[in-house]
Structure 1
Amino acid sequence: MEINNDQSQLDINLIHRFLSEESTWAKGIPLEKVKQSIAHSLCFGGYENGQQIAFARVVSDFATFAYLMDVFVLKEHRGRGLSRQLMAAIKAHPELQGLRRFLLASSDARGLYQKFGFQALGKPEVMMEINVPDIYQHRSN
Structure 2
Amino acid sequence: MEYVLDDDPTRIQPDVVWDWLSTEAYWGRERTRADLEAQLASAWRLVGAYRRDTGEQVGFARAVSDGVAFAYLADVFVLDDHRGRELGKQLVRFMIDDGPGRDFRWVLFTSTAHDLYRQYGFELADDTAMVRPRRVPARRA
TM-score normalised according to structure 1 size: 0.89
Structure 2 residue 58 is the aligned partner of structure 1 residue 53: yes
What residue is the counterpart of 1:139 in the other structure? Answer: 140
SS of equivalent residue, structure 1 residue 96: coil
What residue is the counterpart of 1:78 in the other structure? Answer: 83
Select the residue among 3, 9, 12 that pairs with 1:10: 12
Structure holding more helix per residue = 1
Measure how far apart 1:12 and its partner are: 0.2
Distance in 1 between residues matched to 2:16 and 2:88, nearest whole Å = 17
Structure 2 residue 89 is the aligned partner of structure 1 residue 88: no
Measure how far apart 1:138 and its partner are: 2.5
Distance in 1 between residues matched to 2:47 and 2:92, nearest whole Å = 10
Conserved? CA contact 1:16–1:29, under 8 Å: no
What residue is the counterpart of 1:122 in the other structure? Answer: 126
Residue identity over aligned pairs, in percent, reads 31
Distance in 2 between residues matched to 1:65 and 1:28, nearest whole Å = 26
Distance in 2 between residues matched to 1:113 and 1:98, nearest whole Å = 16
Distance in 2 between residues matched to 1:128 and 1:92, nearest whole Å = 25
Measure how far apart 1:57 and its partner are: 0.4
Distance in 1 between residues matched to 2:9 and 2:81, nearest whole Å = 23
Conserved? CA contact 1:45–1:52, under 8 Å: yes
SS of equivalent residue, structure 2 residue 63: strand
Distance in 1 between residues matched to 2:18 and 2:93, nearest whole Å = 24
Measure how far apart 1:52 and its partner are: 0.1
Distance in 2 between residues matched to 1:89 and 1:70, nearest whole Å = 15
Conserved? CA contact 1:63–1:98, under 8 Å: no
Q: What letter matches 1:129 in structure 2?
A: R
SS of equivalent residue, structure 1 residue 79: coil
What residue is the counterpart of 1:32 in the other structure? Answer: 34
Corresponding residue pairs, total: 136
SS of equivalent residue, structure 1 residue 34: helix
| RMSD (Å) for aligned C-alpha atoms | 1.6
Structure 2: segments with no counterpart, 5+ residues = none
Q: What letter matches 2:91 in structure 1?
A: L
